[in-house]
Amino acid sequence: MSIRPVRHQSTAVPHLEGAGVHLKRAFGFDDPSLTDPFLLFDDFRNSEPENYIKGFPWHPHRGIETITYVLAGTVDHGDSLGNTGILGAGDVQWMTAGSGIMHQEMPKGDANGRMHGFQLWANLPSSMKMTAPRYQDVTAADIPVEIDDDGTAARIICGEFWGKRGPVDGIAAEPSYVDISVPPGKRKTFKVDAYRSAFAYIFAGSGSFRDASRPFGVLVEKEVEGEEIQIRDMSGDRTLVVFDTGDEITVQAGDEGIRFLLVSGKPIREPVAWHGPIVMNSRAELIQAVTELQNGTFIKPSH
């Protein structure tokens, strides 16, 4: 067995998206080879409704899959095919945009005004860019939760993990998407297919991964005895960890425990031509998509 070293680590950065949604972006619109087949990852966590209520009005997608995972609040969604629905806490929507779809996502807070969720974009190989759009809406009750003897819990959204398989299937990159909680002070090792790209996104607690130079945390300025100093906030909040090759990862949970998403998938290793929510393989394909948006032929008839 070989432990995957940490290839890259960073903290999600503030970003404004949609009609004015304040979120944190862990990666996106940079070098896609670092996280291939995954293109973008956003953390939309907020307790102020004015910072998210305008949502993500009608917009197109082509050539990718979007994965929305809600932790708090709800997301109302609708699309050009007439599909509508509401994602609640713990629910997942895995949308294969394929040849093209117009859709909107409108977040609403819980009783205390809190909204929290994640959106991940996964690329499609050239052979599947123009497939028919497909939805998989999964309720929290349908997602298996496995709890190990030491209290480590895993919600298995997609792929196989600890002998259980998540309810989302038929995805091009054959990804694994697991929400993992490790209790305070516990050290835990998880198997990851050696041929897959893998990353962890820490969103609660603190901890360190094997071969990390230091525990993960956010560098912040604090005032101590009247002086501004920089300290490392050990919340581990919104930290992205991209792993190098190997077939397992090891994490040491801090004093508060640690909760993170562990995501892996088969690299596609194809050219990426990117224009907002449209991701193709060439500039010519992008131009065609934009032309179709303008002349009303973007949405393909279903067969």
Percent pLDDT > 90 in the chain is 61
- List 65's β-bridge partners, or say none: 96, 122
Three-state DSSP state, 244: coil
User: Which residue in this structure is represented by tokens 């992008």?
Assistant: 286
- For 133-169, write each residue's pLDDT tens digit: 888 889 999 999 999 999 999 999 999 999 999 998 8
Burial 10-19 (b: 16+ CB within 10 A, else e): ebbeebebbe
Average pLDDT over every residue of 212-241: 57
> Is the distance from CB of 133 to CB of 101 less than 8 angstroms?
yes
Distances (CA, A) of 5 to 30, 92, 161, 187, 191: 22, 30, 21, 16, 13
**In this predicted structure, what is the pLDDT of residue 169?**
80
Average pLDDT over every residue of 68-84: 89
**In this predicted structure, what is the pLDDT of residue 283?**
96
> Is the distance from CB of 207 to CB of 268 less than 8 angstroms?
no
Three-state DSSP state, 286: helix
- For 166-187, write each residue's pLDDT tens digit: 998 877 778 899 999 999 999 9
9/281: higher pLDDT: 281
> Would you place residue 233 in the very low, low, confident or very high pLDDT band (cuts 50, 70, 90)?
low
Among 11-15, 46-50, 234-238, 290-294, the minimum mean pLDDT is found in 234-238
**In this predicted structure, what is the pLDDT of residue 219?**
46
> Is the distance from CB of 65 to CB of 97 less than 8 angstroms?
yes
**In this predicted structure, what is the pLDDT of residue 212?**
46
- CB proximity list for 238: less than 8 A, separation 6 or greater: 11, 12, 24, 26, 43, 201, 202, 203, 218
Q: What global pTM score does this model have? A: 0.89
> Would you place residue 242 in the very low, low, confident or very high pLDDT band (cuts 50, 70, 90)?
very high
* pLDDT surpassing 80 at residue 220: no
- For 198-215, write each residue's pLDDT tens digit: 999 999 988 888 764 444
**In this predicted structure, what is the pLDDT of residue 137?**
87
Among 28-42, 119-133, 218-232, 242-256, the minimum mean pLDDT is found in 218-232
- List 198's β-bridge partners, or say none: 243, 264
Burial (CB count within 10 angstroms: exposed 0-12, middle 13-18, buried 19+), residue 210:
middle
* pLDDT surpassing 70 at residue 218: no
**In this predicted structure, what is the pLDDT of residue 264?**
95
- What's phi and psi for 101, nearest 5 deg? -155, 150
**In this predicted structure, what is the pLDDT of residue 107?**
92
- For 245-287, write each residue's pLDDT tens digit: 889 999 999 888 999 999 999 999 999 999 889 999 999 999 9
